[in-house]
Amino acid sequence: MTRTTAGDGTAVDHREHGDPRGRPVVLLAGFKAAAASWRYQVPALVESGHRVLAVDLPGHGTAAPLPSGVTMDRRALHLHAVLEELDLRDAVLVGGSLGGNTIWAYASQFGTDRVGSVVVVDQTPKMLNTADWPHGFYGYDESNADTYFAADVPATGHGTPLRRRGKRLVRLLRAMRGGGGGRALTPAELALLRDHAGRDWRTTIAGIDVPVLFVAGAESELWPSSHAAAAAALAPRGTAAVVERAGHATNVEQPNAFNHGLLRFLTAASGR
């Protein structure tokens, strides 16, 4: 594990795997999840010759607990610190859930000079449902925008119940071990969640000049899978994929299908 200090003094951890001469792939986990949640992707990426960096931003995995005042914009600074410290070029940024929108926060501030392509895993770019964007978080709209995420991530009643996921549940439990789930959110985590929920990254996506793959879980608990195609339509070089029999943790629940699609996208994107 290697630790980097961001400009605001917070520590960012990462573990590196694979050929140091390979194309860098930076993995960013979802809300409170650890970098270890990418355990089913790291071997496939290493075998294909990539340099893999599994990152724990503050509030994730081995990094320090989330300090107060962290917004999506500050998360962008934390990601920037890693890319700058390691001088990564032509990097593939892969973000699951909150990690996906962290990529847009980064791009909005720092552009894509260091970025070769982007993969976003089951994360809508706008969580608030409005007339022009019906692909947001289930039940979250202008009538409850100020209160919906007041205490936690609300249950939606969508997706396959955990008890019926079989091997998918086993993979989830293994991948999320040490990710900080199952406890009440801290005030800092709630503040970040509310900031995340209120953001709209569609304009940023429309200005992205690199290939982007938007992946959706067909049985996502959080939002309709239509978000992937809708987001891809915004990006000049966007494509979308829906993974069947997968919930929000798409890469964990169906790793073989996800890895196949990811590697196929990276091969195509590298020939741009």
CATH classification of the domain holding 124: 3.40.50.1820
In this predicted structure, the answer to whether residue 182 has a pLDDT above a threshold of 70 is no
**Rounded distance between C-alpha atoms, residue 38 and residue 224, angstroms:** 23
Instruction: For 25-62, write each residue's pLDDT tens digit.
Output: 999 999 999 999 999 999 999 999 999 999 999 999 99
Structure confidence at residue 3 (pLDDT): 85
Residue 218, domain member (yes or no)? yes
Q: How confident is the model at residue 173 (pLDDT cuts 50, 70, 90)?
A: low
Residue 176, domain member (yes or no)? no
Beta bridge partners of 93: 26, 118
Give yes or no for a contact between 52 and 265, defined as CB atoms under 8 angstroms apart.
Answer: no
Residue 72, domain member (yes or no)? yes
- pTM comes to 0.94
Residue 177, domain member (yes or no)? no
How many CB atoms are located within 10 Å of the residue 68 CB? 9
In this predicted structure, the answer to whether residue 210 has a pLDDT above a threshold of 90 is yes
Structure confidence at residue 89 (pLDDT): 96
Residue 181, domain member (yes or no)? no
Q: How confident is the model at residue 178 (pLDDT cuts 50, 70, 90)?
A: low
Q: Provide the domain limits for residue 120.
A: 2-164+186-270
Backbone angles phi, psi at 204, to 5 degrees: -60, -45
Residue 13, domain member (yes or no)? yes
In this predicted structure, the answer to whether residue 67 has a pLDDT above a threshold of 60 is yes
Structure confidence at residue 159 (pLDDT): 77
Residue 172, domain member (yes or no)? no
Residue 175, domain member (yes or no)? no
Number of domains in the chain: 1
Give yes or no for a contact between 77 and 108, defined as CB atoms under 8 angstroms apart.
Answer: no
Where are any strands of DSSP class E within the chain?
2-5, 11-18, 24-28, 51-56, 91-96, 115-121, 212-217, 238-243
In this predicted structure, the answer to whether residue 111 has a pLDDT above a threshold of 70 is yes
